[in-house]
Amino acid sequence: MGFALPPLLHVIGGKTVASADGATLPVIDPSTEQVIGHVAHGGGGEIAAAVAAAEAARLGPWRELAPVARGKLLFRLADLVTRDLEALAWLEACNVGKPISAARGDIGGVAETLRYNAGAADKVEGAVIPLGDGVVDYTRLEPLGVTAHIVPWNYPLGMVARSLGPALAAGCTAVIKPAEQSPLSVLHFMALVAEAGFPPGVVNVVCGDGPGAGAPLVAHPLVRGVAFTGSVEAGRAVGIAAAAGMKPAVLELGGKNAMIVAADADLDRVIDDAMMGGFENAGQVCSSSSRLLVARAVADEVAERLAARAAALRVGPALDDPDLGPVVSAGQYAKVMGYLAEARHSGARLLTGGGRPGGLARGYFAAATVFDRVDAASRIACEEVFGPLVTVTAYDTDAEALAMANSVSTGLVAGVYTRDLQRAFAMVAGLETGSVWVNGWYLGGTQAPTGGIKDSGIGRERGMIAVRNFLRIKNVAIRL
Ligand code: ADP
């Protein structure tokens, strides 16, 4: 199996273009460490051109399309993504090391997200406000205008779809800045955007890094809204820059998410979900279940069963469809290895993994790792590692579990496993996170809002509220 790489160029106003200075960045396959291409590396000049193209499209053909027509284009785009699912999945696998089956699942999710938003395009309704018989007062929900979409590398096209779908449904135009590590799938996707019939300039892509391309995009005066997914540090910088320009920003940042396992939980389900939540995408998921808090009566059993399953995972190159692929880059590999080395000296008990798996000469592979008896205040229990590492910490009371779960600086998701409905409801109320999942992990979906509190960010994505992110209210009052 093999597919062609798309042109590794920016897409501005419907045209593929190189950087004015000819700069490029290597694209690396993390399964092999091979350079598989060189992608244009843009800066302020490319951003200015892309924003100008998006502004021209906003004022031109895009504005004239009825909402239902925007929806039809999005439906067509979803169909094209489904048609090209294999090629897009292959690009994700080669570019970020995702096992190919998982990459197929991701691209299926992209199509689903686009369809959801396609259906939303003609369902944006304002309000009529009763001011008495002498005045008609109503609201128009208007598109913000040109919007910035800055995405990370863990779900390259999935994250694009999550904010681009609602932005287009709302009638905005867009400039996408993919992560510097992972431009491939969005560049193929841009050919589908054109094929679907979107007017040139409605969607643009500038490849580049955060400071060089992302920052000028957020700061550009014609950019009226920002959607960002990434690290807490970069998100804070983006939020500050957006605030300086008085633009709304949706920020979805990191998490150190607690999976709370009560003694009465269904442990078979717990182990299945902890495997998925801990090791899917090599743990490089904001909402991963990286931190298990387990009632002391079952803590050793949970840790040991989880470690046995983790030790049996097949690790290997993405296209071999392993259970666990590499992490995304040399930088991420070094970060994960640093945490593992530190954790081995932290007093926690290493049950499996803890470093590089044997038998793989090249590639950014980290073994699936389980530490138990982890101090809830230690760095591996409090900081987002973004790698295949799960910590297990025992607790004695529900109050202690809640306090541990809430003790970290982030608040993205938490999960509770129990057969006791009252305990579940009490935990749901007490957890300081944007989402709570009960007796399941990675619940929710395209239709349900997601996002964080505390350092995990501001705003919600997915669901109808995501479309609302890209709309502003104009109140109209008419004296009769
Ligand atoms: P990670 O640490 O997981 O690589 P980052 O938060 O650094 O994640 O990157 C997520 C996205 O944000 C990437 O597209 C990156 O280029 C971009 N980015 C990083 N820093 C900034 C910044 N200061 N302004 C705008 N975008 C940025």
pLDDT by residue (tens digit) across 125-147? 999 999 999 999 999 999 999 99
Nearest ligand 1 atom, CA 331: 4
**Ligand 1 atom 24: the closest Cα is on which residue?**
215
Phi and psi, residue 258, nearest 5°: -90, 130
Residue 140 has what pLDDT?
98
Architecture of domain 10-253+457-479: 3-Layer(aba) Sandwich (3.40)
Nearest ligand 1 atom, CA 150: 14
* Poorest-pLDDT segment among 82-86, 317-321, 357-361, 412-416: 357-361
pLDDT by residue (tens digit) across 180-189? 999 999 999 9
Mean pLDDT over 228-233 rounds to 98
Residue 444 has what pLDDT?
87
Is-catalytic flag, 382?
Answer: no
Domain 10-253+457-479 matches domain 258-446 at the CATH topology level: no
Is-catalytic flag, 286?
Answer: yes
pLDDT by residue (tens digit) across 3-27? 999 999 999 999 999 999 999 999 9
pLDDT by residue (tens digit) across 322-349? 999 999 999 999 999 999 999 998 899 9
Mean of pLDDT over the chain: 97
- Whether 353 shows a pLDDT value over 70: the answer reads yes
- Whether 305 shows a pLDDT value over 70: the answer reads yes
Using a 6 Å cutoff on CB, does residue 208 contact ligand 1? no
Residue 346 has what pLDDT?
87
Cβ atoms of 107 and 81 closer than 8 Å: yes
Q: How far is CA 197 from the centre of its chain?
A: 27
Ligand 1 center–CA 210 separation, angstroms: 5
Ligand 1 center–CA 271 separation, angstroms: 33
Using a 6 Å cutoff on CB, does residue 231 contact ligand 1? yes
- Whether 456 shows a pLDDT value over 70: the answer reads yes
- Whether 271 shows a pLDDT value over 60: the answer reads yes
Residue 2 has what pLDDT?
86
Question: What token pair was written down for 457?
Answer: 């960010």
pLDDT by residue (tens digit) across 370-392? 999 999 999 999 999 999 999 99
Q: Which sequence spans correspond to the domains of the chain? A: 10-253+457-479, 258-446
Architecture of domain 258-446: 3-Layer(aba) Sandwich (3.40)
Closest to 120 in 3D by CA, of 169, 162, 157, 164: 169
Report d(CA 199, CA 60) in Å as an integer: 9
Residue type, 8: L
Report d(CA 381, CA 395) in Å as an integer: 14
Catalytic residue among 252, 280, 384, 461: 252
- Whether 1 shows a pLDDT value over 60: the answer reads no
Mean pLDDT over 390-399 rounds to 98
